[in-house]
Chains A and B, each alone.
Chain A
Amino acid sequence: MWSPTWALLGQGAPDEPFQAVGDDRRVSAINPAATAAGIRLGMLRSEAEALCPTVVTVPRDLGAEVARFEPIVSVLEEVVPRVEIVAPGMALIPVAGAVGYYGSEPKLAKRVAAAVTAGSDQGAHFRFGIASGPFAAQRAAELATGRPPLLIVEDDVAFLQELDIAAIDREDLVATFRWLGITTLGDLARLPRSAIVSRFGTEGMTAHRLASGEDREVRPRALPEDLVVEERFDPPLDDFERASFAARALANRLVASLAGRGAHRVIVEAEAADGTVRSRTWRSADPFDDASLADRVRWQLRAWIEGAGVGVRGGLAAIRIRPADLSGTGRQMVLSEDASSTAETRRALTEVQAIVGPDALLQAVPQGGRDPGERVAWHRWDESPAPAVRDPAAPWPGRLPAPAPALVPPTPQPLAVEWDEGLPSAVRLGSRWVPVLTWAGPWRSVARWWHDGHIVVDRYQLVTSAGAFLCEVRDGTSWLVGVYD
């Protein structure tokens, strides 16, 4: 759902040309009169004013635009409960369930259009595009016509093929693609992805994926405040047992108030007597029930009250549980095929999460890349991995072959290497210098060579009597990037 004139809402008469200009001095919204005068989105302000000297230019005020859009979103959520806000005036609505409920896609669009028109007292006009992915849906909304303006895309790939390459919305890439004779998304999709990745890197791969109809899913926005449950304590609680008892009651209240809608993500907050608030997000592949939610709140409170760190100063003044995601699809990880032990495993791992924090209990999946660190995509336990940024199946010339170093520091560590006429002769391990017995390399890697700020790295495998180490030399400085342990 998109309103192209959202930024201009309430500005002047409809027959006067109006344009909104962002911080980048480019036109980001125009009304029909400005369109008729030849002004186009993305044009420089000076170009637009040269084309139409009478155009009225207003600066964008994103805060005001968001505030105006909020009532529309609230109305929209009464029709379809899960909505992702992309920008003021643009929202992504997952329609799979709603189409079943309202009967068909046109019926749903009419229902949504009627609701947002009734909910807007500012005369906003929205266009609707329905497709399998957000990218195709946004392009469809731009091309929609009729009453209400609606375009339903049956086949994303076929629809995208005909679109101009400018649809990928990356000015620098678009210019290069045109220069190479790639003028439509179909032209781009037909090229081998490996060639695009090798020439244009991650940005090229993203463009190729979009052109091929491979898109992300809709991410619904957080839930409204009124589902938050809170318990305040006066005087503040200073022992874990009483806090634990209160947490159980609070979890029961929240699960009851959700009325059957499953929460997959909750934010637990503890307010200390001195006013400081600590919060932590908990996720679950399966919706929380009252027992599992109470367990997590209890573990979290224990970690805060009894664990290391600042604790809860002056006692616990309030506990809040805020549901943050009611998405309906399960995200169960396949950790164990033995069903009888799955519950036990989950319970233990949830407790570990409470001890080390949700960002420190991780799993990893392979992704494309040349360096060992690049080839691993981490994600929190109990969450689905994000779509791979780099395709692991793509060719990665220069990739470090197996065996991989078992230890890779999160950031390269300084490494003292003694060089003899450009060849490594000794390396300092701890406090002692150890002779380099032999080595492989240097392998020169020039990353992002099409950018001005390209990086030149010489990589060595250094072998000593104490083992082998992966070393990088950048601008004459040596760094440890892996230990073959």
Chain B
Amino acid sequence: MVADITSWGRASRDPLRLRRGQVAALDGAPGYGLTRIGLSLLAEHATSGPIAYLDVRGWLSPLAAWEMGIAPDRLLVARCGDVVRWGRAAAALLDGVRGLYAEVPAGARDAVIRRLGAMARRSGTPLVLRPLRGSVPAGVATMRIAAAGVRWDGVDHGHGRLRTRTTQLVVSGKAVRGMTQQMEVEDDGANAVRVVSDLGAARAGRTG
């Protein structure tokens, strides 16, 4: 059951919202649902123009983006597995789209990632970075989202089907006022990802 998030007194804070010029870093292995969470962060920006997904592996299925509320004609997918051209392609995309989800290839230099973060802030384009190996260097992301666990409902030893995923997240960074927050988000494929519980918050040290 999805809780009314206002009952937690959190609607005004809206922790899973990426504003213009902010940079989010996603941290977690494939399977935790971070691709869909990253796309949901950009979905609201797709209402005003195209957003892009910089696909290093060529694995993105646009079905997931469409389910997140991104219209097919508002989603561009640029495939680029070459680490040198990746930086140039990301920079060019930041100039022309309203939001960018960029998978970060192994071997991408920290300086390039920092430069992209600065470009995103300057151009006012929200940027989601998903490193395929390692993590985003400190000081780039205004919001760090790390997956701590995942649970699926709807299946039972051969019966049913995958219906709802609940992911435990640890969110930190300036975008959440420097507070490290643990929360659960729910995704049933029919709506944007919803925050369903606020497990706790603690003052963090220096983050992202």
A residues less than 8 Å from B39 (CB atoms): 406
A393 at the interface (CB under 8 A from B): no
Give the interface residue-count category, chain A.
35 or more
| B64 engages A405 (CB within 8 Å) | yes
B93 at the interface (CB under 8 A from A): yes
| A407 engages B78 (CB within 8 Å) | no
Q: How far is the CB of A201 from chain B (nearest CB, A)?
A: 22
| A375 engages B58 (CB within 8 Å) | no
Q: Which of B59, B62, B162 contacts A410 (CB 8 A)?
A: B59
A341-381 vs B, CB cutoff 8 Å, 1 = contact: the mask equals 10011111101100110001111111000001101100001
B88 at the interface (CB under 8 A from A): yes
Cα-based distance from A429 to B32 in the complex (angstroms): 13
Q: Count A-B contacts at CB 8 Å.
A: 193
| A404 engages B63 (CB within 8 Å) | yes
A408 at the interface (CB under 8 A from B): yes
A59 at the interface (CB under 8 A from B): no
Main SS at interface, chain B: mixed
Q: How far is the CB of B165 from chain A (nearest CB, A)?
A: 7
| B64 engages A438 (CB within 8 Å) | no
Main SS at interface, chain A: mixed
Segment touching B, from A5-13, A16-24, A477-485: A477-485
User: Which residues from 152 to 166 on chain B have a C-beta closer than 8 Å to any C-beta of chain A?
Assistant: 152, 154-162, 165
A330 at the interface (CB under 8 A from B): no
Give the interface residue-count category, chain B.
35 or more
A166 at the interface (CB under 8 A from B): no
A residues less than 8 Å from B59 (CB atoms): 407-410, 483
Q: How far is the CB of A189 from chain B (nearest CB, A)?
A: 29
| B75 engages A344 (CB within 8 Å) | no
| B189 engages A439 (CB within 8 Å) | no
> Known contacts A361-B76, A407-B30, A461-B161; is A485 also within 8 Å of B63 by CB?
no
| A485 engages B30 (CB within 8 Å) | yes
Q: How far is the CB of B36 from chain A (nearest CB, A)?
A: 5
Closest to A303 in B: B85
Q: How far is the CB of B190 from chain A (nearest CB, A)?
A: 6
A338 at the interface (CB under 8 A from B): yes
| A406 engages B64 (CB within 8 Å) | yes
| B89 engages A404 (CB within 8 Å) | no
Known: A351-B95, A469-B31. 11 other contacts (CB 8 A): A338-B49, A355-B92, A356-B80, A365-B72, A372-B63, A402-B188, A403-B64, A403-B189, A440-B161, A483-B30, A484-B165
Q: Which residues of A approach B to under 8 Å, CB–CB?
A: 307-308, 333-338, 341, 344-349, 351-352, 355-356, 360-366, 372-373, 375-376, 381, 401-410, 423, 429, 438-442, 461, 463-469, 482-485
A-B pairs with lowest CB-CB distance, top 4: A467-B31, A348-B96, A403-B189, A402-B189
